[in-house]
């Protein structure tokens, strides 16, 4: 008893080897946590730096778009004025009032400019919207001489300088204009203030210590925002530069992001240098390291605190690991039992089973599928689905497996080939199993006998359909014979009243025969296309009564309504009676008129309306008295439909039939 108890206790106490393993595992976890913490801190810094890079790049690109757009607007004004002047020179006369209006128009559009000035070939001012000296000369300016000496020159943009008239820092954008023979005629110049660029830069947020600086191609400051950083102001033209800027401009790059120590305030910054499109200016967007790493420093402190807390809790974790090991051993035993139970269920299942990998190779099969296919288990495990599948090709099987993986499960029917080459039908239920690289679990049921039974039923239905079609055809033919007999009998009768009765009876038979003809022609014996039937019936009645349809305007509005034989037959006879009355009484002596036929359906309620604007009922003729054969027949048919019938007398006669058909 003692030995048994000691043995039992020993199963609960870990061995020394396991204890050392557990201690080593705890130490490894602790080291891993420290490593992950430091790695997380490093990743966090890189992420912060990457965000700063992206932010400065976005800032530089946005500012580039704003400033280049301003330059394009100014150049557009220059080109517009240039075109007007050269058009005037082509006719050898400047239209100064018109040019003045053009200049004024562009100045109103461009709020940032000082003025638009036009000089002659000697640099003398000939046109300006300001009160500048009219004879002032600018021939000594670099932009004037450059444009004058270069016939193919485009727009010339100066570096910043203090304007002679405005006494403000500005930049001049200028173009030359020529005589028709190509000789230099003068310059159009647009001075615009640096204040405008300052306003553009001030729209963007660069944090507490960030800077946006616009520089020329020699590094000189054009403007910056904010203008004062840490109490330091850089004047226009200042060339206090980082080595990165100088190297980038000299190498000809148009955009570069780098980290550097700015010399004027000795601050490490993330900078993006980008050349302003179409100009010789550069925008430098910078974020101070103290700004973009501020959150990272907070996160670093939190991470270090968490790592320290984890190390302090190492002993608790070791204990938890030990308990987890015990629980894992128990779970492993349970899993083994469940696997054995599952294997027993699969092997005794009446349905076939196999599992395949994502390449279609069979991994497991049960005895039932072996019996279905005639293969041994070892033979099946060496095959792929394409070796068994009859219906689909290998590419189609691969596409089907991808679909199963996306949907998670599916059910379909297919055909498999046995080992002896015979074919059998199977119904397959599949489910995607994402473990072990992905598997597809399939249960298969042999449905060969069911498919054969379905085929017999389908063949029987086709034979019955052929028989039913033949019945309708023969009924139609028999009714045609009856109609012909009635017609022959009517031809032997001289009394007009009796002859009319025979003709009406013949038309009723024709209306019923037409139902069977439509059923014979349709693919669905349970429904008749009633619109086609009514239109055919109308022309049958017109032929019987010899109606001149040129005098009658027919408005037929019939919805897409399908009726079964039980409803179509009485409804067709009612239409026959009502239309016969219309053609007999409504339009005597070839009177012109309108006949409206409407057949509508709302849910399972059907409404038939036949309305004419003819002479109305003849004197003494009252359909409501129920004595006429036509009305008796209509009332009987309405009762058969379990509907309602009413007549309205308003500018002619309107007959309305309402009835319901269940599940219509």
3-state per-residue secondary structure call for 312-364: HCHHHHHHHHHHHHHHHHHHHHHHHHHHHHHHHHHHHCCCEEEEEECCCEEEE
Which residues, 6 or more positions from 424, have their beta carbon under 8 angstroms from its beta carbon? 372, 415, 416, 418, 446, 448
Q: Which residue has the higher pLDDT, 36 or 471?
A: 36
Which pair of tokens denotes residue 389? 């599948």
Q: What's the confidence (pLDDT) of residue 175?
A: 92
pLDDT at 577 over 70: yes
Q: Mean pLDDT over residues 154-183, rounded?
A: 85
Mean pLDDT of 613-638: 70
What value does the mean pLDDT take over residues 280-297? 85
Give the pairing type, strands 552-558 and 593-602.
parallel
pLDDT surpassing 60 at residue 463: no
Select the more confidently predicted residue: 511 or 247.
247
pLDDT in tens, 104-148: 888 788 766 778 888 888 888 888 766 555 567 888 888 888 999
Distance, in Å, from the CA atom of 393 to the CA atom of 368, rounded to the nearest integer, reads 25
Res. 472: pLDDT tops 80: no
Region 479-491 average pLDDT: 71
Estimate to the nearest angstrom the gap between the alpha carbon of 443 and the chain centroid: 37
Residue 519: the pLDDT is: 52
For residue 438, the Cα-to-chain-centroid distance in whole angstroms is 31
State yes or no: pLDDT of 578 exceeds 60: yes
Share of the chain above pLDDT 90, in %: 3
377 membership: H or E segment, kind and range = helix 377-380
List, for residues 97-109, the tens digit of each pLDDT value.
888 888 888 878 8
User: What is the average per-residue pLDDT within 514-527?
Assistant: 59
Task: Write down the pLDDT at residue 52.
Answer: 84
Q: Is residue 11 very low, low, confident or very high in pLDDT (cuts 50, 70, 90)?
A: very low
Q: What's the CA gap between 66 and 274, in Å, rounded?
A: 13
Average pLDDT of span 62-88: 88
Where residue 174 falls among pLDDT bands split at 50, 70, 90? very high
Q: Mean per-residue pLDDT for 81-110? A: 84
pLDDT at 13 over 50: no
pLDDT beyond 60 at 598: yes
Q: Report residue 159: phi and psi, to 5°.
A: -85, 165
Q: Provide the 10 A C-beta neighbour count for residue 298.
A: 10
pLDDT at residue 335 in the model = 77
Per-residue pLDDT at 9 exceeds 60? no
- Range of weakest confidence among 214-218, 460-464, 651-655: 460-464
Q: Mean pLDDT over all residues of the chain?
A: 79
Q: What is the pLDDT of residue 131?
A: 53
Q: What is the mean pLDDT of residues 192-209?
A: 83
- Rounded to an integer, the average pLDDT of 565-584 is 80
Task: Give residue 1's pLDDT.
Answer: 39
CA 149 to chain centre: 59
Query: What region, left, alpha or beta, does residue 231 occupy, with left being phi > 0 and alpha being psi -120 to 50 degrees?
Result: left
Structure tokens at 585: 């009484």
Which residues share a beta bridge with 658?
607, 644
Reported as a pLDDT band with limits 50, 70 and 90, residue 10 is: very low
Highest mean pLDDT among 2-6, 18-22, 131-135, 640-644: 640-644
Rounded to an integer, the average pLDDT of 334-344 is 73
pLDDT of residue 32 exceeding 60: yes
pLDDT at position 524: 57
- Work out the average pLDDT over 506-511: 68
CB atoms within 10 A of CB 209: 18
pLDDT digits (tens, 9 = 90+) for 535-545: 877 887 777 77
Specify whether the CB–CB gap between 88 and 101 falls below 8 A: no
For position 184, what pLDDT does the model report?
92
pLDDT-derived band at 525 (thresholds 50, 70, 90) equals: low
For residue 442, which of 348, 335, 338, 362 has the smallest C-alpha distance?
A: 362
**CB of 15 closer than 8 Å to CB of 23:** no
Res. 7 pLDDT band, cuts 50 70 90: very low
Q: Quick one: pLDDT at residue 516?
A: 59
Q: What are the contacts of 584-589 at 24+ separation with CB within 8 A?
A: 584/545, 585/614, 585/615, 585/617, 585/618, 585/621, 586/612, 586/614, 586/615, 586/616, 586/652, 586/653, 587/547, 587/551, 587/552, 587/612, 587/614, 587/615, 588/615
The answer to whether residue 62 scores a pLDDT higher than 70 is yes
pLDDT at res. 461: 63
User: Residue 177: which pLDDT band, with cuts at 50, 70 and 90?
Assistant: very high
Residue 533 and residue 568 in contact, taking contact as beta carbons nearer than 8 Å:
yes
- Nearest to residue 504, comparing CAs of 590, 599, 573? 573
Residue 310 is predicted with a pLDDT of 82
Nearest to 344 by CA among 325, 367, 323, 369: 367
Mean pLDDT, residues 440-455: 85
């Amino acid at each position: 008893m003692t030995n048994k108890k000691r043995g039992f206790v020993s199963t609960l106490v870990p061995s020394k080897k396991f204890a050392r393993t557990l201690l080593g595992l705890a130490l490894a976890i602790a080291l891993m946590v420290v490593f992950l913490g430091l790695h997380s801190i490093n990743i966090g810094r890189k992420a912060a730096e990457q965000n700063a890079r992206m932010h400065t790049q976005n800032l530089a690109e946005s500012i580039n778009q704003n400033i280049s757009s301003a330059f394009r607007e100014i150049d557009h004004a220059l080109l517009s004025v240039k075109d007007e002047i050269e058009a005037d020179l082509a006719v050898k006369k400047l239209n100064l009032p018109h040019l003045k209006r053009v200049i004024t128009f562009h100045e109103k559009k461009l709020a940032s400019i000082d003025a638009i000035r036009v000089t002659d070939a000697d640099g003398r001012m000939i046109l300006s919207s300001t009160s500048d000296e009219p004879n002032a000369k600018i021939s000594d300016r670099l932009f004037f001489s450059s444009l004058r000496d270069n016939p193919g020159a485009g727009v010339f943009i100066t570096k910043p300088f203090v304007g002679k008239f405005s006494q403000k820092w500005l930049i001049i954008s200028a173009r030359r204009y020529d005589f028709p023979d190509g000789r230099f005629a003068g310059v159009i110049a647009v001075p615009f203030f640096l204040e405008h660029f300052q306003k553009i830069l001030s729209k963007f947020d660069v944090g507490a210590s960030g800077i946006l600086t616009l520089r020329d191609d020699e590094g000189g400051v054009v403007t910056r925002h904010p203008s004062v950083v840490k109490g330091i102001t850089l004047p226009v033209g200042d060339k206090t530069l980082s080595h990165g800027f100088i190297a980038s401009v000299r190498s000809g790059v148009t955009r570069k992001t780098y980290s550097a120590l700015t010399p004027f305030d000795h601050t490490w910054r993330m900078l993006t240098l980008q050349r302003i499109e179409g100009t010789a200016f550069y925008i430098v967007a910078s974020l101070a390291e103290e700004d973009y790493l501020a959150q990272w420093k907070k996160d670093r402190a939190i991470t270090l605190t968490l790592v320290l807390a984890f190390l302090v809790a190492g002993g608790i974790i070791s204990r938890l690991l030990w308990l987890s090991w015990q629980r894992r051993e128990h779970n492993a035993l349970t899993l083994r039992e469940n696997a054995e139970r599952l294997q027993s269920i699969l092997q005794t299942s009446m349905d076939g089973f196999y599992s395949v990998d994502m390449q279609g190779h069979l991994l497991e099969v049960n005895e039932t599928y072996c019996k279905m296919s005639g293969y041994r288990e070892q033979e099946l495990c060496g095959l792929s689905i394409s070796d068994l599948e009859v219906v689909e090709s290998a590419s189609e099987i691969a596409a089907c497996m991808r679909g199963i993986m996306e949907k998670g499960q599916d059910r379909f029917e297919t055909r498999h080939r046995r080992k002896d080459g015979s074919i059998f039908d199977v119904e397959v239920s599949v489910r995607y199993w994402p473990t072990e690289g992905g598997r597809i679990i399939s249960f298969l049921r042999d449905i060969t006998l069911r498919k054969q039974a379905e085929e017999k039923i389908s063949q029987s239905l086709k034979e019955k359909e052929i028989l039913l079609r033949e019945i309708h055809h023969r009924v139609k033919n028999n009714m045609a014979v009856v109609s012909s007999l009635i017609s022959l009998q009517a031809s032997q009768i001289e009394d007009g009243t009796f002859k009319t009765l025979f003709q009406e009876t013949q038309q009723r038979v024709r209306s019923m025969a037409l139902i069977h003809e439509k059923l014979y022609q349709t693919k669905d014996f349970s429904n008749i296309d009633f619109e086609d039937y009514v239109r055919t019936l109308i022309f049958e009645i017109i032929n019987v009564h010899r109606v001149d349809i040129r005098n009658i305007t027919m408005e037929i509005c019939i919805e897409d309504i399908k009726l079964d034989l039980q409803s179509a037959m009485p409804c067709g006879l009612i239409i026959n009676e009502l239309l016969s009355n219309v053609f007999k009484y409504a339009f005597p002596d070839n009177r012109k008129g309108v006949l409206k036929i409407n057949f509508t359906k709302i849910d399972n309620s059907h409404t038939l309306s036949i309305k004419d604007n003819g002479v109305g009922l003849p004197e003494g003729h009252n359909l409501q008295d129920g004595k006429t054969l036509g009305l008796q027949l209509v009332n009987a048919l309405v009762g058969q439909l379990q509907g309602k019938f009413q007549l309205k007398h308003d500018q002619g006669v309107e007959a309305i039939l309402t009835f319901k058909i269940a599940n219509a």
